[in-house]
Structure 1
């Protein structure tokens, strides 16, 4: 087999994640899926990637049955930046706003009823009552609210928002990881984002595409980016919610923001005055990037992505109940098998003359 060096960058979703937790569960389940299909012969090695800001820990997976095949697993950890940045009351208020025309109805009547309490404001729902309201909710519904709280913080694109700096810190970290891997000697790079992590990776790719528009040297490395894999992604929700903020008549503002933030977004055609043609010099430098989106019917947060071009939506079954299915993607071995199969070229049959020489 020809040499194939693959990097997989994994990033977690919202919630109380610990550093290296996502890398650990991803690596263990990837190994399990490969052992089921290939048998023994796998080796896992802890390595450090040295750069300008010191070393980064990652693990490398090799297979004695496939010389030259290497998979490096990297993690982008950002939970410490968003945790406890928003109150329960503020989350419910955001859910109520987002659900008006933004496709949140599948969250259910209970969540929308609780969100109406958020509109009562600070005086009727003081912060110290957050815990009490949480106790009134079932585990699955509480999970949805907690996750949407981080979505509310991260999607604060308005410079005036008190959470805007948090969003920028997360995005800058994701960009640093992406650029580091692109500049390493990898043949293929796979990006895997769960839940809100899929939004983070999408936004990072959006910024990377803008950089490639201005940097020919960086653009020449675009072939390394092989695939974006989104798991339980709320990207349709965030796209619809953010687009609601721009009035239809503000076509100049929409033209700019659509082309700055709208990587592969559908329907980016703001209405202009009669006789005027709108355009942009921004082009898609990542046309060859695959995008596979996995979703579970019992996941109320993620679903098929309809607001973007070039997405292959794959319905899967994580084997969990409603709500908790959102947490089951990293345990779904089907996802690992398919990802590795797509990224690994099939082994070429040995040349007859070469086999003859080996036999002599």
Structure 2
């Protein structure tokens, strides 16, 4: 059996991350402890023991990295002939120089919004809680520093001591939580002059790494998996890399594209742009057809290899709140193809009288094929999610501490819309339904729920392994 190779690129989340820490824990869950990838009776590749206790990996230096702190982690062969190379896009060291001013500037943009028109309902409770925390903080500062406030509003002695304790601990809280963690969010999502250099450096490094993986002759497929703020970083990297890679599409090899034509037609039917019957589960059918369309595109010379984008604990559910001014602004950014949507934005082609996320290039135009739906076409620069499947794992939240406050569904904010109709190409999967503060547990194999089957792999881990499909037939 011929060996096939895949690259898995992990993008870590916010905070002062340690190089390779996220990658090692991820590999331990999705590879080392997965009994389904390698037969237990196959001798251990390191020790020769049989039955084996684990699947083997090796950490190696790699030219894809410009950082000596990082290593490529490679695996042994699976039962179906796959090997995997795991990479981490480490960007925490690029987010330096964050100050309290960066955070307060971001907080002002979040707080000074009309709650009726510019605060989405899923975020409203958090927005109100943020206001309460700010007002309590201001009151505590005034009460402890101004005698007149203390006299006008006398408080029990114990509460006064609590306020003094809060003030005393506030520098630690501001540094460890607001600056070291949420400071990353503040600087990355806001395109202000003080942040542009950091945003540019992070994106440029991420694009360079992903391009090296795509252009390598080693890999048959590439998977991008990201957590928390890393999902916003990964979305930008995917969008930019697809646009750059797409320019290198060798149009001389383009031929008929029946799979792409079926995929675009599926979206047009869902939006009511042409007659037909939409599949009962549009997202499942869309992702299945994406796989076929990417294989077709690759066979015709397009170098794009990213089959899957997996987001976990993603704040992209709040895209209209975090990366746009409001919902209308987000939709406008998607129409202009600044922010990708899933499925991709369609544009009208007067020669076909229909809408596509592809265009007819003069290089491939031929007589008599102008109106043929399967005639050769090239994807536009914002069509990354025409060919890359997006699966999003989130933990439903309630009462602030239950579930994951940061995450949520992404299919709706990134859907393609036309009036009351929409096509949702991203697949949302709810996991860890009962957990408290689950944001950091999407690949935690020790975190179990009462809904998990006894003596079996935790449900959220099983789902993640299934999506990655590291031993695909």
Deviation of the 1:230 alpha carbon: 0.1
**Equivalent residue for 1:157?**
191
Structure of higher CA gyration radius:
2
How many angstroms apart in 2 are the aligned matches of 1:89 and 1:256?
A: 25
**After the TM superposition, which residues 90-105 of structure 1 pair with which residues of structure 2 at under 5 Å, given as runs?**
90-97=105-112, 100=115, 101-103=118-120, 104-105=123-124
**After the TM superposition, which residues 1-360 of structure 1 pair with which residues of structure 2 at under 5 Å, given as runs?**
1-35=1-35, 38=38, 39=40, 40=52, 42-50=55-63, 53=66, 57-63=71-77, 66=79, 68-83=81-96, 85-87=98-100, 89-97=104-112, 100=115, 101-103=118-120, 104-107=123-126, 109-115=128-134, 135=169, 147-158=181-192, 161-184=193-216, 185-217=218-250, 220-244=301-325, 258-264=335-341, 282-297=381-396, 298-305=403-410, 306-309=412-415, 310-317=425-432, 320-321=435-436, 324-332=437-445, 333-341=461-469, 343-346=470-473
3-state secondary structure, aligned to 1:49: coil
Q: Deviations over 1:12-50 (max 9, x none)?
A: 111121111111111222234413775436221122222
Cα 1:93/1:52, change in 2 over 3 Å: closer
Q: Deviations over 1:285-311 (max 9, x none)?
A: 551211110000110101111211421
Deviation of the 1:176 alpha carbon: 0.9
What is the count of residue pairs matched by the alignment? 316
**Is the Cα contact below 8 Å between 2:313 and 2:394 reproduced in 1?**
yes
**Is the Cα contact below 8 Å between 2:6 and 2:219 reproduced in 1?**
yes
**TM-score, with length taken from structure 1:** 0.73
Mean CA deviation greater in 7-16 or 231-240 = 231-240
**RMSD over aligned Cα atoms:** 4.0
How many angstroms apart in 2 are the aligned matches of 1:72 and 1:86?
A: 37
Q: Which runs of 5+ in 2 are unaligned?
A: 41-51, 140-164, 252-297, 347-355, 358-379, 397-402, 416-424, 446-460
**TM-score, with length taken from structure 2:** 0.57
**Is the Cα contact below 8 Å between 1:95 and 1:148 reproduced in 2?**
no
Higher helix residue share: 1
Q: Deviations over 1:41-66 (max 9, x none)?
A: 62211222225958762111114x62
Cα 1:168/1:334, change in 2 over 3 Å: same
**Is the Cα contact below 8 Å between 1:90 and 1:118 reproduced in 2?**
no
